[in-house]
Chains A and B, each alone.
Chain A
Amino acid sequence: MSLDKVKRRDFLKILGWGGAGATLVGCDMPTTVTLEEGKEEVVAYLAPEEYVIPGIGVWYASTCQQCPAACGLHGRVREGRVLKLEGNPDSSVNTGKLCQMGQAGLQGHYNPDRISKPMARKGGALAEVSWDEALAILDDKTGTKSGLDGTRLAWVTGAVSGHQSVMINAHLASTGSKNHFVQEVVNDAVWRAVCQDMLGVSNPRLRLDKAGVVLSFGADFLGTWGSPVHFSREYSKFRNSPRGTLIQAEPKMTLTGANADLWLPARPGTEGILALGIANELMVAQGVDNIPAQFKSLIRAYPLNKVANETGLSAEHIRNAAKMLKQRGPSLVMAGASAQGHEHGYQAVAAAMMLNIILGNVGKTIQAGPEVPFNQMRASAGGSSDIVAFADGLDKSDYDVVFFYNANPVYTAPDALKIKDKLGKIGFKVALSQFEDETTSQADLVLPLTSALEDWGTHVSPVQTGASEISVQQPLMEKLYSETRGFGDIMLALLKIRKSNAFSGFDDYYAYLRNAVSNMPAGSKKNSGGDDWSMALQTGLLAVNGRSADIAARVVPISMPAVSDNQQYPLHLAPSARLGLWDGRHANLPWLQEAPDQISKVVWDSWAELHPKTAAKLGIKQGDLIKISSSHGTIQARVYIYKGVNKDTVAVPLGQGHEGYGRYANGLGVNPLKILNPVTDARTGELALFATRVSVSPAGSDDGGKLVRMGGSETQVGRKLVATISADVFERTEGGA
């Protein structure tokens, strides 16, 4: 090789040989400033525990607080810092696994936007105060000499369980109030109501592992329904030998939909009609005859062609779904967000449950699970009906004092409910919070909470797992901010202010919990050998003897309205939740902002999903900025054109559009909840999240921004990266069965 003919490739090869030597010559560079001697401090332990070795992590058990599912945690602690979270293998909820939201719990804990000191409103603005001052203000406003009419006090919280529930109830009891609003936008409240009415059990155990075919009406159980981690584990059993069949009916493809064998993008609001159509096909073509008479007449009114017409699906697909349900059973039918999110949401979910009844699933794939025997500790899973009920109460000026904990109604409530304005009607608002958010910033008094990794607690999962467990939350490290306090400790202080005798014998929440665990009735305990409390801390769990209720199918009247057209607002808005930002509570965690959406691969932003045909009809191209208008407002987002959305639907994800949630969340994207029509499900009062009609048009002016996506293209561009073969061809050429 002559040197004057060195090509680029040869040059790189030579560089490769010489690379090691060439780069290593630079290794004797002087050390950088941070490594100067005598600048950094190194502090030894005063008197360490025997098992503590600097540089080597110790794992402690606790409970995840990133969503209401209450997964068991193991946290690695090194040199007094928690560094990594994993699932607790002993927990029946997550059996050793942890989702991305759980992993990102660390970023909530170390978040620079945490509130470190109590704050009180002085001259219109929040200013830091001492705890003594904060407690004096609380005494002045809520104490026994405050003149407060206790019934005019309310608690607004997120899902809560365990002894935290007990404490809130004790505080309410001390004032005589019954106002506890449990607000969760991502919920399964309608499903629970239907289960209660049609099975006699509000929280049945779903045996995906026993099912051969699962039909889910918008229940994104791999992403946002119940416990994603628990159901993912069950799903893997369902998909293994023999492989179960998954059918998903929903207007916008969720993570679960993306995994389905048959994905049915029924027109929003027709999920119940689809269920009745499938029932009709089961009755007429598949010979299912064990159908209660009340259902029979209803089902007859939904022949295949009519249902195909109303849902916008092909009759062939509906016929196939019915065939699979019958022939690949045992089956299991579930219903979630997009089915329940309508004025007739209860009816749609009831129609889905009817399928379970006529397919004989009750008692087989839907069972009554053992529940924790202590009613007062069971999970209040909550729902959006409590947002509406709270807004109604505010309209009537029902509350003088309101406590907020793990709830952000100013962000999650539709603008039409005017929660932010109405909060002004409350005389005294207290927020117990780790972060300043849209609701906290309206409060008159802000009490800084420790992070979930610094606090004590007990939790009961709202999901039936087959085991009856109380999950223990213990601090994984010392408090980062000395003036933050644990939720339980604050509750004890509040009870003291109310001169309540409940729990007055306990110095702190730790002492109370320890006592409560040690004094559990002997018959309820399952742990054996050794001290209960030590066992609970070691394993992170308290196994208790559960109680199972009886489960039996009951018939309820179902009526299904047709979906009407709307000329002014032709499209349906699908505000879709995703595993990641959830209802927006995780928008301040950069890891979750950075993790691409499972379907669109978008990061750090909102987007609007449109079907290619709908986009073409509206003259909208990939990445265009569009206006989405409902009768209650307009939002703007860039378009992601994708086939995984119903043609009459525009889907906008939940989670972004924060205005006061810290440096990482603010100013990103939009919040689709803001433009919702405040209509509710007629039976349960749940906000009909999927019932809002919208119009879509190009935004007009465009700042030239881009939708940042972590995915390149949706197709293989003919490169055959993944070889596929149709089932027909496979059967013909490979002799597949």
Chain B
Amino acid sequence: MSVTQHFSAGRIVPCDLKRTSRVRTLPGSAVFVLLCLAYLMLSTAALAEGVESTVPGAVAPVGTYEGEDVKQPIEFPHYIHAKVNKINCMYCHTYARRSKVAGIPPTSKCMGCHSVIATDKPRIKKLTEYWEKKEPPKWKKVHDVPDFVHFTHEKHLRRFVFNNDAMPVERVSEVCAFCHGEVKDMKVAKKTKPLNMGFCRRCHEANNGPFDCWKCHK
């Protein structure tokens, strides 16, 4: 039995292994403390991580993720909207600046343009069918965080765009890209960032974001 195992059996994990003697447990705790300190040093080094970004006064979070291709009811081409036609992300995801969720645009918003634009394209025909049936498409969720994580788009946009004088709102997609990747180069959106706690934490540290547990876990 290694010292570490012995320690965890005797002190923390209740199990049927009996503590043998106090003398033998003490070196175990010492090793554990050293391990903790080592972790602390390693993780402190990791805290400073971050890469320069085009957004003034901001450091972009580090981390990549190989997302799956998601089959959507309509293959919505983000690049046509955001890149070719240079439509601002918040034109469609209009709730992002006001609410915790960015929101999928209501079908009425799609039809605002597509009752006259590109009406002959198969995807628009499909969209029009939905509209006429008075039924919004059932999109598949691509980006999500667990229910015990409170993430709000509104506060992040306030920090990086609206309270950031050097950052014009026209360039908001650069901020969106922190967590959503280069959506303007994608057809159907795909997850390219890990969106896990380490990813959030590194960004919060690099950008002086709040670091209390209950800022996100409430």
Contact = CB atoms under 8 A, between A and B. Distances in A.
Interface of A: 3-6, 11, 14-15, 17-22, 24-25, 27-32, 34-48, 53-56
Interface in B48-75: 63, 67-68, 70-71
Interface stretch (B118-126, B136-144, B176-184): B136-144
Given A20-B43, A22-B39, 8 more contacts: A4-B26, A18-B39, A21-B41, A27-B197, A43-B104, A43-B138, A44-B103, A54-B99
Interface residues of B, number: 56
Contacts, number: 145
Given A37-B68, A54-B101, A55-B100, A46 B141 contact: no
A53 B196 contact: no
Contacts of A19: 36
B77 interface: no
A42 B98 contact: no
Interface in B159-218: 190-191, 194-201
Contacts of B44: 21
17 contacts: A11-B29, A21-B42, A22-B39, A24-B197, A25-B39, A25-B43, A27-B200, A28-B199, A31-B194, A37-B142, A41-B139, A41-B140, A42-B141, A43-B136, A43-B139, A45-B106, A46-B131
Interface string B107-147: 11000000000000000000000010011111111111110
B40 A56 contact: no
A24 to B, nearest CB: 5
A594 to B, nearest CB: 21
Contacts of B197: 24, 27-29
A39 B196 contact: no
Interface of B: 26-27, 29-30, 32-34, 36-37, 39-44, 46, 63, 67-68, 70-71, 95, 98-101, 103-108, 131, 134-146, 190-191, 194-201
B196 A55 contact: no
A53 B197 CA distance: 27
B101 A55 contact: yes
A31 B196 CA distance: 7
A31 B65 CA distance: 11
A44 B71 contact: no
Contact of B144 (A5, A35, A55): A35
B142 A14 contact: no
B146 A35 contact: yes
Interface centre among A27, A38, A53 (most CB of B within 10 A): A38
A615 to B, nearest CB: 38
Contacts of B190: 37
A15 B106 contact: no
A44 B42 contact: no
A44 B106 CA distance: 5
A24 B26 contact: no
Contacts of A21: 36, 39-44
A38 B70 contact: yes
Contacts of B98: 53, 56
Contact of A18 (B37, B67, B99, B200): B37
B33 A3 contact: yes
B41 to A, nearest CB: 7
Interface centre among A4, A37, A41, A54 (most CB of B within 10 A): A37
Contacts of B199: 27-28
Contacts of A37: 67-68, 70, 140-144, 190-191
